[in-house]
Amino acid sequence: MKGRVLICAGSDSGGGAGIQADIKAVTALGGFAMTAVTALTAQNTLGVQGVLGVETGFIRRQIACVLEDLGADAFKTGMLHDVPTIEAVCDELSARAPGVPLVADPVMVAKGGHALLAPDAVATLKRRLLPIAALVTPNLPEAGVLAGFPVTDEPSMREAAKAILAMGVPAVLLKGGHMEGEVLVDLLATAEGVIRFEDRRVATRHTHGTGCTLASAIATGLAQGLALEPAVARARRYVRAAILAAPGYGAGHGPLDHGVTVEAGRFG
């Protein structure tokens, strides 16, 4: 049940999001994480202070090296910051492993507000990434950009889900963490209908990397042979447990405890 997950995303020097969160989440759920780093960021819990993109030829080489030797049971994409990066990743995944499920987290803005996707790249993301994804996992602001109208509550989430499905993606998980109020709703929408998940908000500022973590956790489930709904349900339980166990690091939006699945004191 190990499950090989190739992650194409940016690095977070603070360790709470990006490739670092992805690796931790996949490992915590028993999978095997591999990476193609698309960008380096200088960031901490207070925000992103710099971004350095990786040359697209080297991104392609990372993907090729992994797939030619190790293979993959699922893909996860995160920060694909510009048009050439999106094109490179989509070209390689489509050509080398067209049947492998892809969980696409359409990362657009960091928790602190720093833009992580070039404005001219949105159209390319819609045209290239969404049609090859098995699942796309936007938060409400990202769903609004994709759908073309504000998404703030459950009715608008349902309309956005329809709009995003019409772009060629077979499933969309709209994450309701940006909703107002104490009750948060996530919607998993497919052509067959909508599955609704509801939880009470956790009162904490330590939520950095929740989107990356959730998408990687879902990809791990798919890599391990779970169907989509059970993979999403398990991933949501894991992320909630990791938020509740957050260590409280940093002066801003702190990281989760990705190791919450490891028994305390197990190794002495």
- Could you list the active site residues? 175, 207, 209-212
Structure tokens given for 41: 């960021």
User: Residue 171 in contact with residue 218, Cβ under 8 Å?
Assistant: no
Length of the chain in residues, anyone? 268
* Distant-in-sequence, close-in-space partners of 95: CB < 8 Å, separation ≥ 6: none
Q: Which residues contact 138 (CB under 8 A, 6 or more apart)?
A: 105, 106, 146, 164, 172, 174, 175
Cα–Cα distance, 90 to 128 (Å, whole number)? 7
Q: Are 75 and 42 in contact (CB under 8 A)?
A: no
Please state, as a whole number, how many other Cβ atoms lie within 10 Å of the Cβ of residue 230: 12
CA 150 to chain centroid, in Å, comes to 21
Question: Quick one: DSSP state of residue 102?
Answer: E
Phi and psi at residue 177, to the nearest 5°: -60, -20
Helices (H), the chain: 18-28, 56-69, 83-96, 122-124, 140-147, 154-165, 210-223, 228-244
